Structure 1
């Protein structure tokens, strides 16, 4: 179960990133070019937030069954000094929760704005900040600090 969920979580991150990048593109395009906020834009906003929340569920589930996190929680004094264990036990979950919260707030605020420009601007700002937070906390394969494969097999 753990390995399957780990592979699924790894796969869904690409959907999160793709939808977030597309939503940001649509937001800046609409904001800067003063485009109307269409049903497609509304759908992109909703899909981006939904995919992020699905990833959150997988991530939390993974967090509670992970042997790395289990070790971190039961050996905190020692584990907090180990970069890889601390990353997954504390840093990754904190930053990703922050990213999801930013996406959720941005989506909710944009939904409630009355003008198209305000909707696009709100999405652009909140989603861009969320993207930066998320990108900083993904264990990229090229990272010198913490490295995991870009794709995991099922």
Structure 2
């Protein structure tokens, strides 16, 4: 069981960077459209969808860690700055997934291109901010098959 934990934790650590990269790309693709006059193209849609997909993958990996190991026994949080961080981490992860999903869904359904850009920027920004708050920055920035 420890081997599975180390693999899941390592992949979860790597995917965090994908979330941040795809989120930054989504913002770089959609922020210029807030000024108006630009069509919301398949490129912008794909950037937002990639961000949302990476967030969902990260949430699934995190929930698998939670399910297999239980929050009380996860060594990754043994050095957390406060005992509540483990629950904050899970709660923020769920909220990030909700906000990323809203970015994707609302930017897809908005009636105007301007509305699509606005929804993508607002919800992607909120998801990224919460992602940054949820990351345990005191831990190694890239953990590869170690605890």
Matched residue SS, 2:22:
helix
Residue correspondences, number: 137
For CA contacts below 8 A with separation 6 or more, give which structure has more relative contact order.
2
Return 5+ residue gaps in structure 1 as ranges: 73-81, 141-146
Q: Which runs of 4+ in 1 moved over 3 A?
A: 82-85
Q: How much does 1:34 deviate? A: 3.1
Structure 1 length as normaliser, TM-score?
0.82
Matched, 1:86 2:84: yes
105, 130, 147: which is aligned to 1:133? 130
The equivalent residue for 1:110 is 107
From 47, 52, 66, give the equivalent of 1:44: 47
The separation in 2 between residues aligned to 1:71 and 1:3, in whole angstroms, is 13
**Aligned counterpart for 2:16 among listed residues 13, 16, 20:** 13
Q: Aligned match of 1:95 in 92, 97, 101?
A: 92
Conserved? CA contact 2:36–2:114, under 8 Å? no
Structure 2 counterpart of 1:24: 27
User: 1:33-72 counterparts in 2 under 5 A?
Assistant: 34-66=37-69, 69-71=71-73
Aligned to 2:77: none
TM-score w.r.t. the length of structure 2 is: 0.85
